[in-house]
Chains A and B, each alone.
Chain A
Amino acid sequence: GAVVSQHPSWVICKSGTSVKIECRSLDFQATTMFWYRQFPKQSLMLMATSNEGSKATYEQGVEKDKFLINHASLTLSTLTVTSAHPEDSSFYICSARDLRGRGGNQPQHFGDGTRLSIL
């Protein structure tokens, strides 16, 4: 089946550090990947849609300069949290849309998530 690998799984760093999170589709190509944020005991909130070869589309309220997204290849998207602060501490999850599926809405496959803890 389709596998999405997310790295690292847990990051602890000092306030002011920039952190890069990688999302890779291992056995399929993904022109579109999605980045979500999940606070404790809450649901996933879409942050942005990452499009291969073009700019990401950000949801309302998400700072583009804070959360930099790069989708340089068909199997890799990165999210960089720039100058992270304690309020950025959260669980970040990526997903990739598998174009091999039938129908107009191909399923999304999720990574394991990255726990970001800013001290």
Chain B
Amino acid sequence: AQRVTQPEKLLSVFKGAPVELKCNYSYSGSPELFWYVQYSRQRLQLLLRHISRESIKGFTADLNKGETSFHLKKPFAQEEDSAMYYCALSGPNAGNMLTFGGGTRLMVKP
């Protein structure tokens, strides 16, 4: 069975501090990993996917197959980064459906 775990429900940092939102997964095979973000009163939107290897809004995430992790990082947090972040997994074994982690609320204080 596939599973996504985000151990922290809430992460609070000061503006300018580094941020790391943790995500661990379990999956038999080669999954695709995503990070979705939901700003206050807005819809869920894709932030980045591991297959793209890109940096969006200063965020990066590296897939570590040895540790089965896909942590989201940003070197200098901004107040506008405050939101709910969901790590999600998809794979051909499960009809390409998304399995979400529990979410981490990031609060960036001024």
Contact = CB atoms under 8 A, between A and B. Distances in A.
Interface residues of A, number: 23
A25 interface: no
Contacts of A24: none
Contacts, number: 51
B95 interface: yes
Interface stretch (B14-22, B41-49, B57-65, B75-83): B41-49
Contacts of A113: 43
B96 A43 contact: no
A90 interface: no
Given A93-B44, A113-B43, A105 B99 contact: no
A43 B97 contact: no
Given A43-B102, A105-B90, A110 B43 contact: yes
Contacts of A78: none
A34 B43 contact: no
A106 B49 CA distance: 10
Given A43-B102, A97-B96, 16 more contacts: A43-B86, A44-B44, A44-B86, A44-B100, A46-B97, A49-B97, A93-B44, A95-B98, A103-B32, A105-B49, A110-B36, A110-B43, A110-B45, A111-B43, A112-B43, A113-B43
Interface of B: 32, 34, 36, 42-46, 49, 51, 86, 90-92, 95-103
